């Protein structure tokens, strides 16, 4: 059952114009303030009495904020989004469409969680990061900066994605791996262990990078290649095909390892 409006006339007259504009054509009587925090709730949204909605936060559309979830500061929860359990949406963050934020997850800063994306467990999405599609951020992972996680990608473990990095396709980032700067990881690629992908590196197809390996600069790893150990791949190097590079190898320049995939 959606919330019923019991807002007195004095409060109705105080509905900010910016709040009214979030639901075009809405009137003051379509809104009420949540008893726990004073934030604004549209009449089609559902907010549990145990949830906290801060005075400048807004829940609208047919969004649900349940359990002891917290929406504070200038955060927005819209569409058919769900924020539940002990999740927190803070600052200027937006959770919309059919996205879920659950468990002990936090979405903060100017971050956005859209489409059917899920942020769960103790995952954190912050800064200007965007999580969309059916992507998931879970475990103790952090996604920040201007990073984007999309499609069916999964970020878990204690992984960190930041900078302007893009994780897309069905890529998986886990362990304590770091993907940063302007790196891209896509396809069915997997980054695990304590690996680091940075610079303008590209990891695609079914490639794997794990161990304490570093792939950076303008390097590309694709095909079914595997990079592991303490390997360093940089420059404009390409590792492709079924290549397996491990140990303490260092590959740079314009070196190409692996059969031609063209």
Per-residue pLDDT reduced to its tens digit, 141-168: 999 999 999 999 999 999 999 999 999 9
Per-residue pLDDT reduced to its tens digit, 34-59: 999 999 999 999 999 999 999 999 99
Torsion from C-alpha of 247, 253, 259, 262, nearest 10 degrees: 140
Per-residue pLDDT reduced to its tens digit, 111-144: 999 999 999 999 999 999 999 999 999 999 999 9
Output the CA–CA distances (angstroms, integers) from residue 166 to 124, 161, 171, 205, in the order listed.
16, 8, 10, 15
CA nearest neighbour of 145 among 126, 168, 117: 126
Per-residue pLDDT reduced to its tens digit, 10-30: 444 489 999 999 999 999 999
- Alpha-carbon distance of 183 to 215, in angstroms, equals 9
Question: Which CATH architecture does the domain made up of 72-257 adopt?
Answer: 3 Solenoid (2.160)
Q: What is the residue whose two structure tokens read 């069916």?
A: 152
For the chain, the structural domain boundaries read 1-71, 72-257
* pTM score above 0.85: yes
- Alpha-carbon distance of 55 to 8, in angstroms, equals 17
């Amino acid at each position: 059952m959606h919330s019923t409006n019991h807002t007195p006339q004095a409060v109705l007259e105080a509905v900010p114009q910016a709040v009214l504009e979030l639901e075009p054509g809405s009137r003051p009587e379509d809104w009420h303030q949540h008893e726990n925090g004073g934030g604004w709730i549209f009449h089609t949204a559902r907010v549990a009495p145990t949830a906290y909605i801060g005075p400048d936060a807004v829940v609208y559309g047919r969004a649900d904020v349940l359990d002891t979830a917290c929406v504070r500061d200038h955060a927005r929860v819209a569409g058919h989004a769900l924020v539940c359990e002990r999740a927190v949406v803070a600052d200027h963050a937006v959770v919309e469409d059919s996205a879920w934020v659950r468990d002990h997850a936090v979405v903060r800063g100017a971050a956005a969680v859209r489409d059917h994306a899920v942020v769960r467990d103790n995952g954190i999405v912050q800064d200007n990061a965007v999580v969309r599609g059916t992507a998931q951020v879970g475990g103790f992972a952090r996604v920040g900066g201007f990073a984007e996680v999309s499609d069916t990608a999964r970020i878990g473990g204690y992984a960190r994605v930041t900078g302007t990095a893009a994780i897309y396709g069905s890529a998986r980032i886990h362990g304590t791996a770091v993907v940063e700067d302007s790196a891209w990881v896509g396809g069915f690629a997997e980054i695990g262990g304590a690996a680091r992908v940075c610079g303008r590196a590209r990891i695609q197809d079914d490639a794997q990078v794990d161990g304490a390996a570093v792939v950076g600069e303008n390097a590309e790893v694709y095909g079914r290649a595997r990079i592991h150990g303490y390997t360093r791949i940089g420059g404009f190097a390409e590792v492709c095909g079924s290549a397996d590079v491990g140990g303490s190898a260092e590959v740079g320049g314009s070196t190409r390892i692996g059969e031609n995939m063209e």
